[in-house]
Chain A
Amino acid sequence: MRKAFFPLLLVTSAMFAYAPVVIAHADYESTMGLVQKVMYFHAPSGMVMLISAVVCGVASALYLWKRDPAADRVAIAAAELTALFGLIVLVTGPLWARKAWGVWWVWEARLTMSFVGWLIAVGYLFVRKYGGPGSDKLAAGLAVFGTANVPFIYVSVNIWRTMHPMTTVVPTLQPGMRGAFWFSALTLFMLYGLLLAARVHLERQRTALDQLYLAEED
């Protein structure tokens, strides 16, 4: 399993490098033109952020109730990646919005709640780092609350119709755009999986190191 990491990383990097070519061949969107092509990265990053938040929440719940240390490792890895992909969404979105909407930011439901979700992920990381003893459980509790936010972020754009495109956009993509979208999405999902695996490996090594120190003391 571990041996597959570097080859897969190479494949993903190649796909990511090739993605602009695929995207360049995709159709333009009639009202937004070239800048709409940010969507091919922005939307999948958003999907990854929400998926990662759910992974973190589920792992945290498992850790809180079953005390499974492996679940805790996955939780912290997923939290870091939620923060990373959240940052990507929050940067690529305004870059698109500046041209498409004329403003960098609008305080509407999805944007505000995504920002909140990102802050909760960062808060999780702060608790893990600066919380002192027992911070792993505190952070797990926070993650469980934060995950309750996720369905709201997803659905908000369908309930409150504002400038942000609705979730119906992705399932109704026409053939000219579908290929590019799912290629970029696949690339980002693979990237997420690889980064998650790497981070969990780091956490496992840290646990092993702690065990070694404990064994040394005996």
Chain B
Amino acid sequence: MMRRLFLVVWLMAGAAVPALAFQPPAAQSEYVPVKDLPPVDQLPAAPLLVAAYSFIWLAAMFYLWTIWRRLGKVETEMRALEQRRSHR
């Protein structure tokens, strides 16, 4: 079992090795912090930032709401079943 796992991991590493031969132009490897904003670009960034933040709130709240709704349904059914049993 462990041997097979090791083999899988080793093969996946092996898959990475030939790919290392390919290096398109470098991307950022570190962030450079700066205290003040540089001159403004064409696209306003604030709406994008606000949209991203709002989306996370909405997505998380929506998901929590679906759990709450499904839980409500299950608990209603459980209570109905319990009632039927107690009536017998």
Residues of A in contact with B (beta carbons under 8 Å apart): 16, 20, 27-31, 33-38, 41-42, 45, 80, 84, 87-88, 91-92, 95-96, 98-99, 148, 151-152, 155, 157, 159-166, 168-169, 172-174, 176-177, 191, 195, 198-199, 201-202, 205-206, 208-209, 212-213, 216
Residue pair A29, B12 in contact (C-beta under 8 Å): no
CA distance A84 to B82 in the complex (A): 34
Q: Which residues of chain A are near B10, meaning CB under 8 Å?
A: none
Residue in contact with A166 in the complex, picked from B28, B51, B52, B85, CB distance below 8 Å: B28
Q: A161-B27, A177-B31 are in contact. Are A91 and B60 (CB under 8 A)?
A: no
CA distance A155 to B26 in the complex (A): 15
Residue pair A160, B59 in contact (C-beta under 8 Å): no
Contact code string B67-88 (vs A, CB < 8 Å = 1, else 0)? 1001100110110011011000
Q: Which residues of chain B are near A98, meaning CB under 8 Å?
A: 43, 48
Q: List 10 A-B contacts (CB under 8 A).
A: A35-B49, A88-B55, A99-B41, A148-B8, A159-B20, A160-B19, A165-B28, A165-B29, A165-B31, A166-B29
Residue in contact with A155 in the complex, picked from B16, B24, B29, B32, CB distance below 8 Å: B16
Q: A99-B43, A99-B45, A162-B27 are in contact. Are A41 and B75 (CB under 8 A)?
A: no
Q: Which residues of chain B are near A99, meaning CB under 8 Å?
A: 41, 43, 45, 48
User: In this complex, what residue of B is CB-closest to A27?
Assistant: B33
User: In this complex, what residue of B is CB-closest to A42?
Assistant: B52
CA distance A28 to B63 in the complex (A): 32
Size class of the contact patch on chain B? 35 or more
Residue pair A148, B12 in contact (C-beta under 8 Å): yes
Residue in contact with A209 in the complex, picked from B8, B30, B48, B77, CB distance below 8 Å: B77
Q: Does B2 contact A (CB under 8 A)?
A: no
Q: Which residues of chain B are near A155, meaning CB under 8 Å?
A: 16
Residue in contact with A169 in the complex, picked from B24, B28, B48, CB distance below 8 Å: B28
CA distance A64 to B16 in the complex (A): 29
Residue in contact with A27 in the complex, picked from B34, B64, B75, B85, CB distance below 8 Å: B34
Residue pair A31, B32 in contact (C-beta under 8 Å): yes
CB distance from B8 to the nearest CB of A (A): 8
Residue in contact with B12 in the complex, picked from A41, A152, A201, A216, CB distance below 8 Å: A152
Q: Which residues of chain A are near B55, meaning CB under 8 Å?
A: 88, 91-92, 95
User: In this complex, what residue of A is CB-closest to B22?
Assistant: A160
User: In this complex, what residue of A is CB-closest to B21?
Assistant: A159
CA distance A13 to B88 in the complex (A): 45
